[in-house]
Structure 1
Amino acid sequence: MGKIKTSIYIDADLWWELKKEAAEENRDISRLLEEIISENLLLDLEKNIEEMLKKFEKKIEFEPLPSRGSVSELVRRIRDEREGNILR
Protein backbone atom coordinates (compact mmCIF):
# COMPACT_ATOMS: atom_id res chain seq x y z
CA MET A 1 0.00 0.00 0.00
CA GLY A 2 1.37 3.41 -0.98
CA LYS A 3 1.62 6.46 1.23
CA ILE A 4 -0.15 9.78 0.76
CA LYS A 5 0.43 13.16 2.31
CA THR A 6 -2.65 14.83 3.77
CA SER A 7 -3.76 17.76 5.87
CA ILE A 8 -6.36 17.46 8.60
CA TYR A 9 -7.88 19.67 11.25
CA ILE A 10 -7.65 18.23 14.75
CA ASP A 11 -8.21 19.52 18.27
CA ALA A 12 -4.96 21.10 19.50
CA ASP A 13 -5.04 19.37 22.89
CA LEU A 14 -5.62 16.00 21.22
CA TRP A 15 -2.73 16.63 18.82
CA TRP A 16 -0.31 17.46 21.62
CA GLU A 17 -1.39 14.36 23.57
CA LEU A 18 -0.74 12.25 20.49
CA LYS A 19 2.66 13.82 19.95
CA LYS A 20 3.50 13.28 23.63
CA GLU A 21 2.54 9.60 23.42
CA ALA A 22 4.58 9.12 20.25
CA ALA A 23 7.60 10.75 21.90
CA GLU A 24 7.24 8.66 25.09
CA GLU A 25 7.13 5.50 23.00
CA ASN A 26 9.93 6.76 20.75
CA ARG A 27 7.70 6.20 17.72
CA ASP A 28 6.97 8.02 14.51
CA ILE A 29 3.72 9.96 14.81
CA SER A 30 2.62 8.97 11.30
CA ARG A 31 3.01 5.28 12.12
CA LEU A 32 1.17 5.73 15.41
CA LEU A 33 -1.72 7.43 13.61
CA GLU A 34 -1.81 4.64 11.01
CA GLU A 35 -2.06 2.04 13.77
CA ILE A 36 -4.82 3.94 15.57
CA ILE A 37 -6.81 4.36 12.37
CA SER A 38 -6.29 0.72 11.38
CA GLU A 39 -7.42 -0.49 14.77
CA ASN A 40 -10.45 1.77 14.64
CA LEU A 41 -11.40 0.58 11.17
CA LEU A 42 -10.64 -3.04 12.10
CA LEU A 43 -8.14 -3.37 9.29
CA ASP A 44 -5.84 -6.37 9.55
CA LEU A 45 -8.34 -7.91 11.97
CA GLU A 46 -7.64 -11.48 10.89
CA LYS A 47 -3.87 -11.03 11.26
CA ASN A 48 -4.25 -9.41 14.68
CA ILE A 49 -6.54 -12.18 15.92
CA GLU A 50 -4.10 -14.85 14.73
CA GLU A 51 -1.24 -13.13 16.58
CA MET A 52 -3.35 -12.85 19.72
CA LEU A 53 -4.31 -16.53 19.55
CA LYS A 54 -0.67 -17.55 19.18
CA LYS A 55 0.15 -15.67 22.40
CA PHE A 56 -2.71 -17.37 24.26
CA GLU A 57 -1.87 -20.82 22.88
CA LYS A 58 1.55 -20.56 24.50
CA LYS A 59 -0.04 -19.75 27.85
CA ILE A 60 -2.83 -22.34 27.84
CA GLU A 61 -1.84 -25.74 29.11
CA PHE A 62 -4.36 -28.36 30.14
CA GLU A 63 -4.91 -32.06 30.26
CA PRO A 64 -7.85 -33.39 28.24
CA LEU A 65 -10.71 -34.62 30.38
CA PRO A 66 -11.72 -38.28 30.22
CA SER A 67 -14.86 -38.93 28.20
CA ARG A 68 -16.56 -41.45 30.47
CA GLY A 69 -19.75 -40.80 32.38
CA SER A 70 -22.11 -37.88 32.06
CA VAL A 71 -21.09 -34.27 31.97
CA SER A 72 -23.00 -33.67 35.21
CA GLU A 73 -20.93 -36.30 37.01
CA LEU A 74 -17.71 -34.83 35.64
CA VAL A 75 -18.64 -31.30 36.75
CA ARG A 76 -19.59 -32.59 40.21
CA ARG A 77 -16.26 -34.44 40.50
CA ILE A 78 -14.29 -31.33 39.46
CA ARG A 79 -16.21 -29.17 41.96
CA ASP A 80 -15.58 -31.69 44.73
CA GLU A 81 -11.84 -31.73 43.92
CA ARG A 82 -11.68 -27.94 43.98
CA GLU A 83 -13.59 -27.79 47.23
CA GLY A 84 -11.20 -30.30 48.74
CA ASN A 85 -8.21 -28.20 47.64
CA ILE A 86 -9.70 -25.02 49.03
CA LEU A 87 -10.47 -26.57 52.40
CA ARG A 88 -6.94 -27.89 52.86
Structure 2
Amino acid sequence: MGKIKTSIYIDEELWREFKRHAAEQGLDVSELLEELIKEELMIELDTLIPEETNPELDFEPIKPREPVSGLVREMRDERENSLSRQ
Protein backbone atom coordinates (compact mmCIF):
# COMPACT_ATOMS: atom_id res chain seq x y z
CA MET A 1 0.00 0.00 0.00
CA GLY A 2 1.44 3.37 -1.02
CA LYS A 3 1.69 6.44 1.16
CA ILE A 4 0.15 9.85 0.55
CA LYS A 5 0.80 13.26 2.02
CA THR A 6 -2.25 15.01 3.40
CA SER A 7 -3.21 18.15 5.30
CA ILE A 8 -5.63 18.38 8.19
CA TYR A 9 -6.85 21.16 10.43
CA ILE A 10 -6.54 20.34 14.13
CA ASP A 11 -6.39 22.23 17.41
CA GLU A 12 -2.83 23.44 17.92
CA GLU A 13 -2.57 22.37 21.58
CA LEU A 14 -4.04 18.96 20.79
CA TRP A 15 -1.48 18.48 18.02
CA ARG A 16 1.40 19.38 20.35
CA GLU A 17 0.11 16.85 22.90
CA PHE A 18 -0.24 14.20 20.20
CA LYS A 19 3.33 14.78 19.01
CA ARG A 20 4.61 14.55 22.58
CA HIS A 21 2.61 11.35 23.13
CA ALA A 22 4.01 9.81 19.93
CA ALA A 23 7.57 10.69 20.95
CA GLU A 24 7.07 9.09 24.39
CA GLN A 25 6.02 5.89 22.64
CA GLY A 26 9.04 6.02 20.35
CA LEU A 27 6.91 6.51 17.24
CA ASP A 28 6.77 9.29 14.75
CA VAL A 29 3.47 11.11 14.40
CA SER A 30 2.63 9.48 11.07
CA GLU A 31 3.07 5.97 12.47
CA LEU A 32 0.89 6.62 15.51
CA LEU A 33 -1.78 8.40 13.49
CA GLU A 34 -1.85 5.54 10.99
CA GLU A 35 -2.21 3.01 13.85
CA LEU A 36 -5.10 4.97 15.33
CA ILE A 37 -6.87 5.23 11.97
CA LYS A 38 -6.47 1.48 11.41
CA GLU A 39 -7.81 0.81 14.89
CA GLU A 40 -10.80 3.06 14.28
CA LEU A 41 -11.54 1.36 10.97
CA MET A 42 -10.69 -2.09 12.40
CA ILE A 43 -8.21 -2.71 9.58
CA GLU A 44 -5.79 -5.60 9.97
CA LEU A 45 -7.83 -7.00 12.85
CA ASP A 46 -7.55 -10.42 11.23
CA THR A 47 -3.76 -10.36 11.70
CA LEU A 48 -4.24 -10.54 15.48
CA ILE A 49 -5.82 -14.01 15.27
CA PRO A 50 -3.67 -16.76 13.76
CA GLU A 51 -5.22 -18.44 10.71
CA GLU A 52 -5.04 -21.90 12.24
CA THR A 53 -7.18 -20.69 15.12
CA ASN A 54 -10.87 -20.80 14.38
CA PRO A 55 -12.59 -20.18 17.71
CA GLU A 56 -16.11 -21.54 18.07
CA LEU A 57 -18.53 -19.05 19.53
CA ASP A 58 -21.21 -20.67 21.63
CA PHE A 59 -23.63 -18.13 23.02
CA GLU A 60 -27.17 -16.95 22.66
CA PRO A 61 -27.37 -13.37 21.38
CA ILE A 62 -29.40 -10.98 23.50
CA LYS A 63 -31.35 -7.92 22.55
CA PRO A 64 -30.20 -4.76 24.34
CA ARG A 65 -32.76 -3.10 26.60
CA GLU A 66 -31.82 0.33 25.31
CA PRO A 67 -29.78 1.75 22.41
CA VAL A 68 -26.06 1.08 22.77
CA SER A 69 -24.94 4.10 20.77
CA GLY A 70 -24.71 6.19 23.96
CA LEU A 71 -22.45 3.60 25.56
CA VAL A 72 -20.22 3.46 22.47
CA ARG A 73 -19.94 7.27 22.43
CA GLU A 74 -19.08 7.28 26.16
CA MET A 75 -16.36 4.68 25.64
CA ARG A 76 -14.88 6.66 22.72
CA ASP A 77 -14.94 9.86 24.80
CA GLU A 78 -13.15 8.09 27.66
CA ARG A 79 -10.49 6.84 25.24
CA GLU A 80 -10.06 10.30 23.75
CA ASN A 81 -9.75 11.86 27.21
CA SER A 82 -7.17 9.29 28.32
CA LEU A 83 -5.09 9.96 25.19
CA SER A 84 -5.22 13.73 25.67
CA ARG A 85 -4.10 13.41 29.33
CA GLN A 86 -0.96 11.45 28.48
- Using the size of structure 1 for normalisation, the TM-score is 0.53
- The aligned residue for residue 45 of structure 1 is 45
Unaligned runs of 5+ in 2: 54-86
Percentage of matched positions with identical amino acids: 55
What's the TM-score, normalizing by structure 2? 0.54
Structure 1 residue identity aligned to 2:32: L
Q: 1 CA distance for matches of 2:47 and 2:17? A: 28
**Structure 1: 5+ residue runs without aligned partners?**
55-88
Runs of 4+ displaced beyond 2 Å? none
Q: Distance in 1 between matches of 2:24 and 2:13?
A: 16
Q: Which residue of 2 aligns with 1:69?
A: none
Deviation, 1:16, is 1.2
SS of residue matched to 1:14: helix
The number of residue pairs the alignment matches comes to 51
Match of 2:16 in 1: 16
Query: Partners of 1:40 and 1:22 in 2: how far apart?
Result: 17
Tell me which structure has the larger Cα radius of gyration. Answer: 1
Higher relative contact order (CA 8 A, sep 6+): 2
Bigger fraction of residues in helix:
1
Shift of 1:13: 2.1
Question: How far does the alpha carbon of each residue in 1:32-79 deviate from its partner, in whole angstroms, 9 at most, with x for none?
Answer: 10000000011011112x16xx9xxxxxxxxxxxxxxxxxxxxxxxxx
User: Counterpart in 1 of 2:7?
Assistant: 7
- Deviation, 1:27, is 1.0
